[in-house]
Amino acid sequence: MIFATNFKTNNTRAYTKEYIQTLKEFVLKNDIKDDIFVFPTFTSLDMFELPSNIRVGVQNAYPVQNGSYTGEIGLEQIDEFGLKTILIGHSERRVILKESQELIVEKFNYFKERGFEIIYCIGEPKEIRDEGVDSAMEYLWSEFDGIDIEYEKLIVAYEPIWAIGTGVSAKKEDIDEILSNLRAKIKVPLLYGGSVKSSNIQEIESIKDCDGVLVGSASWKIESFCEIIKNGIKG
Ligand code: PGA
């Protein structure tokens, strides 16, 4: 299983340090070999000494070395911390920050060319899902326009927009249906995200084509993230 936590706009630099230290101790103590990703805020990035299966990444970056892009960071700032993992295409960036597919593709290609591990997010809105699986798949495939789905350091996260931050995950059958459709064309690991928590992790990880989870709100406290990992591994 892959366990990823996206802090979004949460947690301080001080708490992130404590969080990552506790996570590291938990992983070492329990001899956990699964891959674990942490995406903190920019201001909490640092040099963390971690076992190779725990990777810290950036939630976003502009596809440049450096330059005049107010409010953004580029490769120079990421390299300073030796980070090689990035989240691209999250629905909050697509919808709230109005990021276009064109810009997303630019980011994808830029970081792919530099060998980054990319967690690429896709997800459909409720009204599209309500039209049925064919509409949902058409929408989801359009979010792969311009994206190299064969990139060897790619992980895809399916996150239905209507299940994000609502406390109500998509139903097991619905996730199953979408992931198996994705699996027909996509060979890289597939994650599910959208209200994953310690009480539903086992059900989610029992889905055939689900290789892991991308978790937001239920993972912002280290105790809860460790609980999710513990239950996920048990399942
Ligand atoms: P959530 O967020 O776990 O709070 O639903 C998931 C995500 O946006 O990655």
Q: What is the DSSP string of 107-154?
A: HHHHHHHTT-EEEEEE---HHHHHT-HHHHHHHHHHTTTT--TT-TTE
d(Cα 181, Cα 187) in Å, to the nearest integer?
11
Q: What is the mean pLDDT of residues 206-228?
A: 98
Tokens standing for residue 111: 């970081």
Number of the ligand 1 atom closest to the C-alpha atom of 157: 9
Query: What pLDDT band is residue 234 in, cutting at 50, 70 and 90?
Result: confident
pLDDT at 63 over 70: yes
Ligand 1 centroid, distance to 163 Cα (angstroms): 8
The pLDDT of residue 27: 98
pLDDT in tens, 104-146: 999 999 999 999 999 999 999 999 999 999 999 999 999 999 9
Question: Distance from the CA of 78 to the center of ligand 1, in angstroms?
Answer: 23
Distance 67 CA to ligand 1 centre (A): 31
Task: Round to the nearest angstrom and report the end-to-end CA distance of the chain.
Answer: 10
3-state secondary structure 22-49: HHHHHHHHCCCCCEEEEECCHHHCCCCC
Cross-strand pairs, 215: 5
- Residue 91's closest CA among 33, 21, 162, 145? 162
- For the chain, the C-alpha Rg in angstroms (whole number) is 17
> How much is the pLDDT for 15?
98
Minimal-distance CA residue to ligand 1 atom 6: 216
The pLDDT score that the predictor gives to residue 235 is 62
d(CA 200, CA 218): 11
User: Contact, 44 vs 57, CB < 8 A?
Assistant: no
Looking at ligand 1, which residue's alpha carbon is closest to its atom 1?
Answer: 216
Cα distance between residue 124 and residue 177, in whole Å: 14
Q: How far, in Å, from the CA of 156 to the mean position of ligand 1?
A: 14
Helix (H) or strand (E) holding 33: none
Q: Which residues are catalytic?
A: 90, 159
Domains detected in the chain: 2-234 (3.20.20.70)
CA dist., res. 217 & res. 225, Å (int) = 10
Specify the residue with its C-alpha closest to ligand 1, atom 3.
216
pLDDT for 207: 97
The pLDDT value recorded for residue 143 is 98
Residues with CB under 6 A from ligand 1: 6, 159, 164-165, 193-196, 214-218
Which pLDDT score, from 0 to 100, does residue 168 have? 86
Ligand 1 closest atom vs CA 4: 9
Burial (0-12, 13-18, 19+ Cβ within 10 Å), 125: middle
- pLDDT value of residue 228: 98
Indicate the SS3 state at residue 209: coil
Mean pLDDT of the chain: 97
Residue in the structure block whose two tokens are 């596809």: 63
The atom of ligand 1 lying closest to the CA of 8 is 8
Which tokens belong to 38? 């942490």
**Each residue's pLDDT tens digit, 32-59:** 999 999 999 999 999 999 999 999 999 9
What digits encode the pLDDT tens for the residues 90-109? 999 999 999 999 999 999 99
